[in-house]
Amino acid sequence: MSYICSTCSITVHKDCISLPRIIKFSRHDHCLFHKYFLQTRELTKQDCKICFKEVKFERGSYSCVKSGCSYIVHVNCALEDYRFYEVVERESRCEELYGSSSKSTQPSITRVVEVSEDGEATKIEHFSHEGHCLVLADKMEEETDRRCDGCMLPVSTLFYYCSESECHFYLHKNCAELPGVKRHWFRRYTADLDSRSFMRCALCKRPCSGFFYEVEGYLDVCLRCAEVPDVIEFQGHEHLLFYDFKCRERCNGCGADPGGEGAFRCGKCSFTLDFKCLSLPHSVVHKIDQHQLNLTYHDDNDYSKHLHCDICEVKRDRSLWYYCCSICDTSAHPDCILGEFPFLKDGITLSPYYGYRHYHDVQFLRKAEDYPNCSSCRQRCRREIVKCTESTCNYIAHFKCCWLRI
């Protein structure tokens, strides 16, 4: 059944009569208005900002009415999943919603203790490190491999360090200044910044330490994934990539199934990337080579010896990503270079609450002394292990072996 206008002959399905006139869509700052016709000045070919296919104006669409903003999406793309939009009953609410989506309501710095002559905060108190002040610095006093306790990446550029000499806590300046509350395009609700020694990111599926945004009270998103926009330009691909929550194609970076949360895909070819590969560092330093190793997207060399990983000595899939030195021809799997769990803090203590196969607290360690046998698989433990904190218990296991599921 459909309805037809006797004046202009527009035809509308019965279900489409009740389409919401205004929605607040999680992937755009402004409200979107439903239109059956666009103004003459707008009648230039435009692609949907979700699926990147052409919008047929005669079939209606949701578009932004803000001056200078050309955001437009298909009706079905906008309303496909209730988690991404909310219905706006009154147009007067649009400015209120825009204000809440564009501004942080809570700073993560709880108090500025000292400032420099130019107004920069040089000493602060931060929600993630209560009891001690953090001091601004631009370089380490000694050459050590320190990681930011927010993003778990190596400390670089400006950073804060704990004022207590025995406390090795570090935060990039950018991480220290993150908003305490923000809107993330992945859901329609606000996300709250929190800090934890252990969590599992809902998007990249990696176990992580440090800062994360909690969405809807149950979705934990690590900082690396939280910074990824819904449409990206990727240096390893010539076309734009857009997020598709229904995508089930295997990732071109690692070959894995993206799982239930979707992935980024190209609208013009069959290229797909999951969040895990998008969060890989573009360059790293590793002891197997004196030079910097760069993330490489395709191997054109089919010489069989060249395709073996220089760490685990297992043959690589030439179509999948790897790290290599362009000078020495050193190459290795990403997991061999970074470890399977690169964003977990060395030395953290986990409780049985998290569901692993042991009844005491365990400590995560990046390296194993004397290569003991794993209590689960009985193979040698070389790195990334858990060790029981009880002095009378000899439990040691690979980190991935100690879980009921991982």
- Residues 77, 88: Cα–Cα separation, whole Å: 17
What is the spatial order of strands in the sheet that 72-73 belongs to?
A: 72-73, 61-64, 31-35, 22-25, 85-87
Tokens encoding 289:
């080579």
101/386: higher pLDDT: 386
pLDDT of residue 250: 93
Just give the CATH number of 109-176: 3.30.60
Under 8 Å CB-to-CB from 134, ≥6 apart: which residues?
123, 124, 125, 126, 160, 161, 162, 163, 169, 171, 176
Mean pLDDT of the region 216-225: 88
94-108, 250-264, 388-402: which range is least confident on average? 94-108
pLDDT in tens, 343-384: 999 999 988 877 777 889 999 998 888 888 998 889 898 888
When pLDDT is averaged across residues 379-395 and rounded to a whole number, the result is: 89
> What is the SS3 assignment for 223?
helix
2-102 and 232-278 in the same fold: yes
* pLDDT tens figures, 300-342: 766 556 688 999 989 888 889 999 998 998 999 999 999 888 8
- Report the first-to-last Cα separation within the chain, whole angstroms: 49
Q: What is the pLDDT of residues 193-212, one digit of tens each?
A: 999 999 999 999 999 999 99
pLDDT digits (tens, 9 = 90+) for 147-191: 899 999 888 789 999 999 888 899 999 999 999 988 888 888 888
pLDDT in tens, 39-86: 544 557 788 988 888 888 777 899 998 888 889 999 999 998 888 899
Minimum mean pLDDT range among 16-20, 134-138, 173-177, 264-268: 16-20
What backbone phi and psi angles, to 5 degrees, belong to 103? Answer: -125, 145
Query: What is the domain partition of the chain in residue ranges?
Result: 2-102, 109-176, 181-226, 232-278, 283-338, 349-401
pLDDT on residue 267: 84
Q: Class assignment of domain 2-102? A: alpha beta
Q: Which pTM was predicted?
A: 0.83
Using CA atoms, how far residue 47 sits from 9, 170, 267, in Å, is 26, 44, 11
35 or 194: which carries more pLDDT confidence? Answer: 194
For the domain spanning 232-278, the CATH number is 3.30.60
Alpha-carbon distance of 321 to 333, in angstroms, equals: 8
Classify residue 96 by its DSSP letter.
Answer: H
Mean pLDDT rounded to a whole number for the chain: 86
- Helix, coil or strand: residue 72: strand
Judge whether residue 24 has pLDDT over 70: yes
The β-bridge relationship of strands 383-388 and 362-367 is: antiparallel
pLDDT at position 37: 65
